[in-house]
Amino acid sequence: IHTEIAGALGAAWRHRWSAAGIALMFTLVSAILTMTLAEVMTQSSVVMAAQRLRELDATTFTPYYLGDLGNDPSTGLMEDLGDRIASGSAYTMILSNVAGGNPVVIVVGQAAQNAMTGARLCSPAPCAMVGGQVPHPVDGPLHVGGRSVPVAGRTPSSASLFDPAAVGIDLDRSVLIVLPPSSLDHLDSTEQEEAVWRTVLLSATDDDTEQFITAARQDRLALVPHRLAADQPERFRKLVVWAAMHGVGLLGLTALVSIAYSASIRSVLRRERADLLLRHLYGATSAQLTIRLAAFLAVTMLVLPALTLLALAASTLLRGAAAAAGSALIIIYLVFLMTTVRRVRFEFARSGTVR
């Protein structure tokens, strides 16, 4: 086996320029495929995670400032928000906090359970849950919103929280803090402002939504409402169209690279035919030559793309997409291996030397 692998490496070195060109093309295809899959998977996870919220006819908001940044929400607005959360008709989140070097996700209201998958919110509030991969250990209670928040336990690694303004939040790398509605009055102005525009209203009538928007506008914060039941399906349709367009382009690029690689392999086999035939005549079995061909193909089309995919997989957001791209690359490799072995055996059959 070592001899065959060494022979494959030697063949790859003799044809290094064509091998390097093909390897770079496969690397480019793998990187583009990973980025495209990552975007599709991320957006799809957002749409799927919002299923429960769509069933509850949730309304989210996009903020626009009518004056200077950094408004100070009024006491009346915060009391109204607290009443809505206490009644279970709303919840809110605050994502701009850090505690002890760890990212902190604050949720106010048990209704936030509808946006959470893979775990249950701790109770009674205030309480905290710590992800298993937070950068720094969490010792003792936390202090947020004028309260001492005890750590109730660990967050399961599969837990995530749907953020209507962005994507799913991986709670395994965050500290999740659950606060009661009464804590809203004790947050600073920046946190209160974020709590207002990140509010999610559940099963709200048009009048309820308009009242909330009017109260926020009086504090110079314009909120544009979005009903997930209407916006998310449209977002999914756009995602399907976008993925289809990029998929067709990627298939075309992959086909061109595969055609170029196939032509390069045929050229290499013509130049290596005498050596392969001579080894076969002097006792090398078809299995040994298959190992040589497999090693040659791996060196020319797997090594550099695989290293690139491993580097991309270091990012949590790209890990799943890189794994999918790697699987596709291996399938293409196996197809080329079977085709190449069949071509070599056909050449041996024509020479009358098949073993």
pLDDT the model gives residue 33: 83
pLDDT band at 78 (very low <50, low <70, confident <90, very high): very high
pLDDT the model gives residue 210: 94
pLDDT the model gives residue 352: 55
- As a whole number, mean pLDDT of residues 261-266 equals 76
| Higher-scoring residue by pLDDT: 285, 131 | 131
Taking the C-alpha atoms of residue 28 and residue 34, their distance in angstroms, rounded to an integer, is 10
> DSSP letter at 140?
S
- As a whole number, mean pLDDT of residues 254-273 equals 75
Of 73-87, 212-226, 307-321, 325-339, the range with the lowest mean pLDDT is 307-321
Of 310, 312, 305, 308, nearest in space to 332 by CA: 305
Taking the C-alpha atoms of residue 315 and residue 308, their distance in angstroms, rounded to an integer, is 12
Please state whether 140 falls in left (phi above 0), alpha (psi between -120 and 50) or beta: left
| Higher-scoring residue by pLDDT: 284, 109 | 109
Neighbours of 237 (CB within 10 A): 10
Phi, psi of 109, deg, nearest 5: 110, 130
pLDDT the model gives residue 265: 74
Tell if the pTM clears 0.75, that is, is over it: no
Average pLDDT, the chain: 81
Burial class, 350, CB count within 10 angstroms (exposed 0-12 / middle 13-18 / buried 19+): exposed
pLDDT band at 79 (very low <50, low <70, confident <90, very high): very high
- Summarised one tens digit per residue, pLDDT across range 129-139 is 998 888 888 87
pLDDT the model gives residue 279: 67
Taking the C-alpha atoms of residue 199 and residue 85, their distance in angstroms, rounded to an integer, is 9
Long-range contacts of 16-22 (CB under 8 A, 24+ apart): 18/264, 18/267, 18/268, 19/264, 19/299, 19/300, 22/257, 22/260, 22/261, 22/264, 22/300, 22/301
pLDDT the model gives residue 27: 87
- Give the DSSP letter string of 76-110: HHHHHHHHHHHTTSEEEEEEEEEETTEEEEEEESG
pLDDT band at 68 (very low <50, low <70, confident <90, very high): low
pLDDT the model gives residue 293: 80
| Higher-scoring residue by pLDDT: 348, 264 | 264
- As a whole number, mean pLDDT of residues 93-121 equals 87
pLDDT the model gives residue 349: 64
pLDDT the model gives residue 87: 93
pLDDT the model gives residue 82: 94
Q: Is the pLDDT of residue 304 over 90?
A: no
Provide the percentage of residues in the chain whose pLDDT is more than 70: 84
Q: Are 110 and 126 in contact (CB under 8 A)?
A: no
